[in-house]
């Protein structure tokens, strides 16, 4: 390490003693009120459409200005209501949830899950193995909706119930399977 380097000449290890000269008086900005020559120590907003800009007033004039300040001065009732509505979202643009301006997938876009073009009602539900077996017991396809499941269940219960068959209990096991399958589908919220 070269201690005689010019870089070490700029390093100060002790503060130099302050000279006895008085600090220069920084008066600051003059009050923005016409005819006032006092120091304008206090900021006051200039108003709507001039955000981030301020007047500098003395204490007396800033109090006077703030007493009469109205941000919404000059706005119509419709503009005021629109401002209040936009204030809910912080005056940022918003879009409706689920809105898709593009619509169905364009020819160049891939759709590996075949979700485009189907509404929520006719979208094929994803059932597990247990739910598919329950649908098979009811004699329905995998894409059966809640309405179809309920109608098919009621139809089978009416047909296989012993009271509807004159007390014949030969279909009792099949009826238990159907009831259990329906309960499985209800537990999966498929109905």
Q: Within a domain: residue 88?
A: yes
Q: Within a domain: residue 172?
A: yes
The single-letter DSSP state of residue 164 is G
Residue that terminates a domain, selected from 47, 65, 93: 93
Q: Within a domain: residue 98?
A: no
Q: Within a domain: residue 107?
A: no
The pLDDT of residue 118 is 54
Q: Within a domain: residue 180?
A: yes
Q: Within a domain: residue 173?
A: yes
**Domain CATH code at residue 141:** 1.10.287.110
Locus of tokens 């300040």: 69
CA angle 136–140–142, rounded 5-degree value: 80
The pLDDT of residue 58 is 94
Count of structural domains, the chain? 2
Residue that terminates a domain, selected from 48, 75, 93: 93
The pLDDT of residue 14 is 66
Q: Within a domain: residue 9?
A: no
Q: What is the pTM of this model?
A: 0.36
Nearest partner of 74 among 43, 47, 113, judged by Cα: 47
Q: Which residue segment(s) compose the domain that 172 sits in?
A: 129-187
The pLDDT of residue 44 is 93
Strand partners, 51: none
Contacts of 152 (CB under 8 A, 6+ apart): 138, 139, 140, 144
Q: What is the pLDDT along the chain (191 residues), one digit of tens a residue?
A: 666 777 766 666 666 655 554 444 467 889 999 999 999 999 999 988 888 899 999 999 999 999 999 888 888 999 999 999 988 888 888 777 765 555 554 555 666 666 665 544 455 456 688 888 999 999 998 888 889 999 999 999 998 888 887 888 888 899 999 999 999 988 876 66
């Amino acid at each position: 390490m070269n201690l005689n380097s010019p870089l070490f000449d700029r390093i100060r290890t002790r503060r130099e003693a302050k000279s006895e000269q008085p600090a220069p008086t920084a008066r600051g900005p003059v009050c923005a009120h016409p005819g006032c020559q006092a120091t304008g120590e206090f900021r006051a907003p200039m108003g709507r459409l001039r955000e981030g800009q301020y007047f500098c007033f003395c204490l007396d004039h800033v109090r006077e200005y703030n007493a009469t300040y109205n941000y919404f001065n000059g706005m119509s009732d419709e503009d005021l209501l629109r401002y209040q509505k936009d204030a809910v979202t912080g005056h940022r643009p918003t879009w409706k949830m689920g809105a898709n301006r593009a619509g169905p997938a364009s020819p160049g876009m891939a759709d590996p899950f075949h979700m485009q073009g189907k509404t929520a009602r006719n979208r094929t539900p994803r059932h597990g193995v247990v739910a598919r077996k329950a649908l098979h017991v009811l004699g329905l396809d995998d894409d059966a909706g809640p309405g179809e499941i309920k109608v098919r269940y009621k139809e089978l219960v009416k047909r296989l119930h012993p009271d509807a068959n004159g007390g014949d209990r030969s279909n009792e096991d099949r009826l238990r399977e159907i009831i259990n399958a329906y309960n499985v589908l209800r537990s999966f919220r498929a109905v």
